[in-house]
Amino acid sequence: MPYKVYALDISVGAAAMYAWWEMDLKKDSATSESHERNIDPAFLYGPTLSIKFNRNFNLTFVYLYGKFDFKDSFTSISDMYGTKKRSDGDLALNYRLNDYFKAFAGIKHMACKYEMTKLKTGVPGVEYNSHIEHSGFGPGAGLSCTVPVAENLFILATLSGFYLWGDHKEKTFLVAPSTKENRKFDYTEYGINSNLSVAYYITPASTAISLGGRFQYFKTVFDKPAGLLDRTNNYNTKSKFYGVTLAATYTFSTRID
């Protein structure tokens, strides 16, 4: 008896980004305490995957991870140094609108882990360090565009928005005198993503190379200020995340009987 044979086009690859991260921290209105965070640029990297089911639908996944060094400066206390481990993942279902545009919707995940150490607090003999975990999930949706420029050369662009719900956990340690304090509360995070790149498809190798840039803007709003977070102005934070991107993907087909 006759039966249908289906083929999936699968693209696997790797992506890298050299990124800058700027944070606008809210000033404490009660104490006029200023708080600035200077974050060094860093590389992020991770896998990419695309599965094309048919002419109109495909599933995409992109994940990036990187580690940033930073310094926090305050008005009344000494500087704090630390590292941020940032991860950013997107899983989306894409629908072809025409030869140039696709609409997509899916799930976004953004997370950070902070390790902060302040050698001095302004009080002789007192040291401070903190461990923070910040993780959120939520929906995202947008449009992507592919414009052919020449044979095997394309311009790729995407614009999307997202809204996340997350948990924020903080463990604080104060040495001499020795104290420990744990905090946990919820937050929301919302913003936009945009990408613009030029891609070239190498036909003999079935591989596409793309070079471009990415810009992300988002706002973090904590449900309620709590203790140190209120005093250090870490709620209602606005962030800009941008940089240069490079990706390579290899495409092959597999048959499903």
pLDDT at position 129? 74
The answer to the question of residue 116 being in a domain is: yes
The answer to the question of residue 171 being in a domain is: yes
pLDDT at position 29? 52
DSSP helix/strand/coil, 234? coil
> Lowest mean pLDDT: which of 102-106, 136-140, 152-156, 227-231?
227-231
pLDDT at position 169? 87
The answer to the question of residue 56 being in a domain is: no
Residue 54 has pLDDT above 60, yes or no: yes
Domain limits for position 94: 24-44+63-205+215-240
Q: What is the pLDDT of residues 215-248, one digit of tens each?
A: 999 999 888 654 544 444 446 789 999 999 999 9
pTM as predicted: 0.85
Tally of structural domains, the chain: 1
- Are 177 and 148 in contact, with CB atoms under 8 Å apart? no
- Give the CA dihedral 206, 95, 211, 214, nearest 10 degrees: -160
Output 175 or 10, whichever has higher pLDDT: 10
The answer to the question of residue 18 being in a domain is: no
The answer to the question of residue 5 being in a domain is: no
The answer to the question of residue 163 being in a domain is: yes
User: What distance in Å separates the CA atoms of residue 165 and residue 137, rounded to the nearest whole number?
Assistant: 6
Average pLDDT for 67-77: 79
The answer to the question of residue 221 being in a domain is: yes
pLDDT at position 125? 56
Q: What is the pLDDT of residues 164-223, one digit of tens each?
A: 999 988 887 766 556 677 878 889 999 999 999 999 999 999 999 999 999 999 999 888
Helix residue ranges per DSSP H, the chain: 228-231
Average pLDDT for 26-55: 81
The answer to the question of residue 68 being in a domain is: yes
